[in-house]
Structure 1
């Protein structure tokens, strides 16, 4: 299958909004941390305006650092031809588009990423990339008909890394099926995706109903109980979190970083704004499973 380079489509433009791009596909299959299937459906159906969502800062950072990441990759591979490119349309399937960060030789691609969630990435040199970026890579490879996608990555600790993902025809076929079903459903409210627990879904619902009318709605008892139980669980979790934070803060005293015996950072004190008292921040990617596994090893 071949592809044709078309006029570059800017994210949010009408032409871009009505096609399935590599940046949207992860939301379609429920993998995107930034966009839900529900929020994407309402944006592509014209019910909501396009916005930067929760990752506006990440997109800006990526925009400014993309040239540097591309050049770093060039420096690591002086034997490869790395060229900037634009938007590509899959021949015979014009609704499928992708805009890779670069073309590499005749068969490969490059994507440039910055990361604040380093734990989502595996060992450099492998294909262990976050699942939503793998979705993006597979879609881009499908559209362009290429065989391999390199990732040039800058981590939160200013470390350059490289990853490589090969085309996966089985996953690509699944993505096409999911995207086709999604695209055919657009525009009819009866086809809107189900509600899920994604932050983007809740934000979308709030934007769909910005006004407040002096009216009452009777809701199902089961939903009311579920809401009350979730509220209680949230309160309990916040209480437990404050208690644990207080204990760590007391042990830290005026020190900045709390670590385990095996050297894993748990939390660190940070100065408050405007000279206010310091507060405790959890380490990035902190999970109980991560701490116990590292301790066991």
Structure 2
């Protein structure tokens, strides 16, 4: 059941105002995130760093235009199911602190800045059972099938940049100065990280958000990029079908035709490369090169190969 209250919350943060404990998917939840607002999960898209949403798609969403419907994936479903368990693990690892559900917040002065952290972290001295008046940090809970995007446990730069943007925005909205990350990788590899507030980074994000919302207000559409969700957004824009010819620029026609040829050539080369790697693996599980994981094999029940999948490779620093 949703507790969609906008009354004063008994616990406070330095700069945030609680909108309510809103249930995802409800009208109140959608309203708190709609229109000319930027949430912590959207800020990475604003600066072009989100692996899930392009700036182009976010612009259409904020402009009230059609975007592809949300589809529940297995990683998202299990991330939601496991959130409480991973949060409890963090709390067990940090006696003296309590991680409580956070709710949805806005900045006290800049109403358009929104955030829904996973947990507020309260210091809880030994022997005391009441939650202190003010949280001192935040907790974000993440799950990942593979740890390629995450650094070693506790690494200072171990948090992927898109989650760092999310954490920085949450701190910017609530006025807190540290976000803890509790991460479960591959269902058994538990890691922790921290991100501390950086005013220079926060200002970059704020300035980018202001510019983005100004472009939304004035109808300045971002350029089309190579993200798949940009393509999905364009696919849902037409409202109707006219059986007519539409003249397009020669440069765009050539780009499309050349890309078709290159795609076929690349697909053929990829198939050959996969065959060679799979032949090397044989009955094994993973292909490695100089201790670097290249690909992994998923077998069928009879031991033959169901699929060969690449490991994500981090860009060189």
Contact 1:107 1:146 in 2 (8 A): yes
Among candidates 236, 259, 269, match of residue 265 of structure 2: 236
In 1, Cα distance between the equivalents of 2:262 and 2:169?
39
Residue 17 (structure 2) aligns with? 4
In 2, Cα distance between the equivalents of 1:270 and 1:51?
30
Residue 270 (structure 1) aligns with? 298
Among candidates 149, 166, 176, match of residue 206 of structure 2: 176
> What TM-score do you get using the length of structure 2 for normalisation?
0.81
Query: What does residue range 97-108 of structure 1 map to in structure 2 within 5 Å?
Result: 97-105=114-122, 106-108=135-137
Question: How far off is 1:136 after superposition?
Answer: 0.3
1:4–1:50 distance in 2 versus 1, CA, 3 Å: farther
Q: Aligned pair 1:259/2:271, yes or no?
A: no
In 1, Cα distance between the equivalents of 2:74 and 2:240?
28
Residue 118 (structure 1) aligns with? 147
Contact 1:252 1:258 in 2 (8 A): yes
Contact 1:258 1:265 in 2 (8 A): yes
Q: Deviations over 1:245-268 (max 9, x none)?
A: 222334444x14243464544334
Residue 68 (structure 1) aligns with? 85
Q: Aligned pair 1:155/2:215, yes or no?
A: no
In 2, Cα distance between the equivalents of 1:85 and 1:260?
42
Q: Aligned pair 1:89/2:118, yes or no?
A: no
Residue 138 (structure 1) aligns with? 168
Contact 1:257 1:265 in 2 (8 A): no
Contact 2:53 2:229 in 1 (8 A): yes
Residue 225 (structure 1) aligns with? 254
In 1, Cα distance between the equivalents of 2:281 and 2:68?
44
Of 26-35 and 205-214, the range deviating more from structure 2? 205-214
Contact 2:67 2:233 in 1 (8 A): no
Question: How far off is 1:212 after superposition?
Answer: 3.4
Residue 285 (structure 1) aligns with? 312
| SS of alignment partner, residue 197 of structure 1 | coil
Question: How far off is 1:118 after superposition?
Answer: 1.3
Contact 1:270 1:278 in 2 (8 A): yes
| SS of alignment partner, residue 148 of structure 2 | helix
Of 164-173 and 239-248, the range deviating more from structure 2? 239-248
Residue 39 (structure 1) aligns with? 57
**Root-mean-square deviation (Å):** 2.6
Question: How far off is 1:228 after superposition?
Answer: 2.0
In 2, Cα distance between the equivalents of 1:236 and 1:276?
31
Contact 2:67 2:232 in 1 (8 A): no
Q: Aligned pair 1:30/2:48, yes or no?
A: yes
Q: Deviations over 1:14-46 (max 9, x none)?
A: 332122110111111111111111111111211
Residue 295 (structure 1) aligns with? none
In 1, Cα distance between the equivalents of 2:289 and 2:79?
36
Question: More helix per residue: 1 or 2?
Answer: 1
| SS of alignment partner, residue 111 of structure 2 | strand
Of 56-65 and 258-267, the range deviating more from structure 2? 258-267
Contact 1:245 1:280 in 2 (8 A): no
Contact 2:115 2:173 in 1 (8 A): yes
